[in-house]
Amino acid sequence: MGTPRVLILGGTSEARELASELTERGMPVVSSLAGRVNAPRLPRGEVRIGGFGGPAGLRSWLAEHDITAVVDATHPFAERISESAATASELSGIPLLRLHRPGWRQGPGDAWHWADDLGSAARLLPSLGDRIFLTSGRQGLGAFAHLSSLWFLARCVDPPTPVPPPHITVLLSRGPYSVEAETALLREHRINVVVTKDSGGAMTEAKLVAARRLDLPVVIVRRPPRPAVSEVTDVRSALDWILHYSSKE
């Protein structure tokens, strides 16, 4: 049946690495990005930007473009596209693999406080501190807007819309970050609480190490549940899955 044509639902460093590995091997690959970042880091190979229109739209797109395998390598909090991919895979019979980046692990000296969502994270803050380093994304700033007695430094890749209230200062920046730079940033702004999502990965982990160095509490939002599909936790395993599938074609 020939070489499989792979769709990578991307936007992560793992997705870009996988696309590069497949391109190096001459395999047809399409990387799909949601389009939420103004200037995303583009992977090698063919790229499409934008949504599919839900599970039915994705199923139609897969058929129209002769896709034979799908790898969901989206951000751990991009639950909507993961649900669409699982449904479309089940309806079409096209195999689906989830490339699932492991979450961060709490270690000695970490003062972590877990929250189920951003609203729960916001409710924890008044008892923990009053100068908050917020790294949970621009789309969730509204969950903290009512906490006018607290001051926030919110780090985002792109400017948030609508404009946040005056007690939330926005820092536009993109990782990776070093421990030294993160430590200096926390000290400069007199931060006494860090808020983040359990994104995992090394690109933004430095803030957790910096918080540990400075004995700061960290509020971490748990990952949302994902559909039950085949999963791997590293690019090498995802590549092996594709190559194994290719050998059976």
Residue at 80 is within a domain: yes
CA–CA distances in Å: residue 177 to residues 126, 127, 202, 204, 217:
27, 28, 9, 6, 19
pLDDT surpassing 80 at residue 246: no
Residue 247 has what pLDDT? 58
Residue 34: CB partners within 8 Å, gap ≥ 6? 11, 49, 50, 51, 74, 78, 81
Residue at 26 is within a domain: yes
Residue at 240 is within a domain: yes
pLDDT in tens, 95-121: 999 999 899 999 999 999 999 999 999
State the total domains in the chain: 2
Domain check: are 67 and 127 in the same one? no
Domain check: are 206 and 115 in the same one? yes
Q: What is the mean pLDDT of residues 135-161?
A: 92
Residue 35 has what pLDDT? 67
pLDDT surpassing 90 at residue 36: no
Domain check: are 23 and 43 in the same one? yes
Query: CB–CB of 89/9 below 8 Å?
Result: no
Domain check: are 199 and 119 in the same one? yes
CATH code assigned at 137 = 3.40.50.720
pLDDT in tens, 65-92: 999 999 999 999 988 999 999 999 999 9
Residue at 1 is within a domain: no
Q: What is the mean pLDDT of residues 147-163?
A: 92
Residue at 75 is within a domain: yes
Helix 79-92 to helix 54-64 angle, to the nearest 10 degrees? 60
Residue 249 has what pLDDT? 55
- Pick 226 or 196 by higher pLDDT: 196
Residue 169 has what pLDDT? 95
Lowest mean pLDDT among 123-127, 135-139, 189-193: 135-139
Domain check: are 67 and 121 in the same one? no
pLDDT surpassing 50 at residue 1: no
The 111-115 sheet, strands edge to edge: 111-115, 217-221, 193-197, 131-135, 151-156, 168-172
Domain check: are 123 and 217 in the same one? yes
| Alpha helices per DSSP H over the chain | 13-24, 54-64, 79-92, 118-124, 179-188, 206-213, 235-247
Residue 3 has what pLDDT? 59
Q: Which domain holds residue 217?
A: 111-221
pLDDT in tens, 9-27: 998 999 999 999 999 998 9
Query: Tokens representing 78?
Result: 């991009």
CA distance linking residue 230 with residue 235, whole number of Å: 14
Domain check: are 150 and 117 in the same one? yes
Residue at 45 is within a domain: yes
Residue at 106 is within a domain: no
Q: What is the mean pLDDT of residues 140-166?
A: 92
Average pLDDT score over the chain: 92
Sign for the pseudo-dihedral over CA of 225, 53, 90, 44: negative
Domain check: are 61 and 117 in the same one? no
Domain check: are 97 and 137 in the same one? no
